[in-house]
Structures are given as structure tokens and as C-alpha cells.
Amino acid sequence: MSNKISQLGTTFELLPEVLDGFEKDLELVPNIVAIEGKLLERANVEQAAQQLYYDTKRRELRTILKYVELRKDKVYGQLFKAYTETHSRELSDRGKEKYINNEQEYLTIQEIYLEVEELYEKYDAVIEAFKMRGYALNNITKIRVSSLENTQL
């Protein structure tokens, strides 16, 4: 079991605390990604380390997301089974789905899933921003090298 998964608690009671840590890291991103006012050498040096850090955090979030999805599927399966075995009248699969989608237990786990998914997508956007930053730094570096090559001594 992933270390992050074990930190969530059996009923996700510790999930808000775990997600807060991820949110705090996101607050730093605009200043980290910005290249304006930074030395080119410094920006190039920090690029790989920062991208690795946020990609690692994204992968941790993906693990949490997959775990929550598994738990959501488990709740859905249990409710589906209950409606199949104990409901007073025969329901179609679609009918069972409608009932399940309104069960509080399922709604709660669905909300948790959506919250983690949203945070995961934010981290996806951060990784894309780092990729764009990398392209920009590469282009700036090439421009500077070209200018130096054309300098007459």
C-alpha cells in the first residue's frame, strides 16, 4: 500500500489534511514557473528539479485518485448487490443505477473522488506549464547563443 494511501484513514477522515499539503504546494507554482526577472542560468538549473518535484506530487495524487476510485466502485458494487438481492420489486440495471446515484454513501464517496480529481487536474496543468517553461527557456537560450555567435571580435 502506498504511503499516501495509508495516510488517508479508513474512512478518508485524514484526506482533507493530505490534500491541504498538495494545495499549499500549488500556491507556490506561479512564482516558480515565472521566468521574468530571473537569471537565465538560474531558471535553467531549477527547471528539471522543480518539474520533477511537481510531477512526483502529481503521481502521488494519481495514486490517491485511483484508490478513491476503487473505494467508489466498491460502494457502488455493494449498493448494486443490495438493490439486486433485497429490493421489493425487480429493477433494471438502469433503475438500480438511478437509486444508487441518490444514496448518501455513494454521493459522499463521489464528492471525495471529484475533489481529488480536480486537484489532480491542477497538477496536470502545472506539469504542462513546466513543459512550456522548458520550451521558452530553450528558445531564449538559443537566441542568446545565436547572438553571441554573430558577435564580431
Q: How confident is the model at residue 153 (pLDDT cuts 50, 70, 90)?
A: very low
Is residue 1 scored above 50 in pLDDT?
A: no
Is residue 152 scored above 80 in pLDDT?
A: no
**pLDDT attached to residue 141:** 86
Q: How confident is the model at residue 41 (pLDDT cuts 50, 70, 90)?
A: confident
State the Cα angle at 60 between 55 and 63, rounded to 5°.
Answer: 125
CB 126 within 8 A of CB 52: no
Region 6-19 average pLDDT: 84
- The HSE-up count of residue 141 (CA atoms within 13 Å, CB side) is 14
Residue 89 DSSP code = S
Region 85-107 average pLDDT: 87
Is residue 37 scored above 80 in pLDDT?
A: yes
Closest CA to 124 of 18, 22, 14, 6: 22
Kindly tell me the burial class for residue 144, based on how many C-beta atoms sit within 10 Å of its own C-beta (0-12, 13-18, 19 or more): exposed
**pLDDT attached to residue 151:** 54
